[in-house]
């Protein structure tokens, strides 16, 4: 028996919203860890709650303190490289 589809919209009741956020955040971070291990890739996940609390996961072979910064630096370098290769962005400049 399959689960029914749910309508994706904001949960109005605060307590239900917090429980859903907690469960889905845990599931998202778990999937990120699994992806990093199974596929031998670098994964970085940053989540801010509605109260502004930060939750993060960074897979890296280095220590946890340098994991997320190195992933962010790698992302920024890739973005810059992609913009240089994209002829549309050249025209915009």
- CATH code, 63: 3.40.1810.10
- The residue whose two tokens read 């630096």 is 73
Number of domains in the chain: 1
The mean pLDDT of 33-46, rounded to a whole number, is 95
Q: Residue 24 belongs to what domain range?
A: 12-83
| 5 located within any domain | no
Given a cut of 60, is residue 90 above it in pLDDT? no
pTM equals 0.74
For the chain, what is the radius of gyration of the CA atoms? Answer: 18
For residue 87, what pLDDT band results from cuts at 50, 70 and 90? Answer: low
pLDDT score at 24: 97
| 3 located within any domain | no
DSSP three-state, residue 45: strand
**CA-CA distance, 24 to 47, in Å (whole number)?**
11
| 92 located within any domain | no
């Amino acid at each position: 028996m399959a689960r029914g589809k749910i309508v994706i919209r904001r949960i109005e009741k605060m307590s239900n919203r917090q429980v859903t956020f907690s469960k889905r955040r845990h599931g998202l971070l778990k999937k990120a860890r699994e992806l990093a291990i199974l596929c031998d890739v670098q994964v970085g996940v940053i989540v801010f709650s509605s109260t502004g609390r930060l939750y993060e996961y960074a897979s890296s072979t280095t220590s946890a303190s340098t994991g997320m910064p190195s992933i962010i630096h790698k992302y920024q370098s890739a973005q810059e490289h992609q913009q240089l290769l994209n002829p549309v962005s050249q025209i915009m400049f």
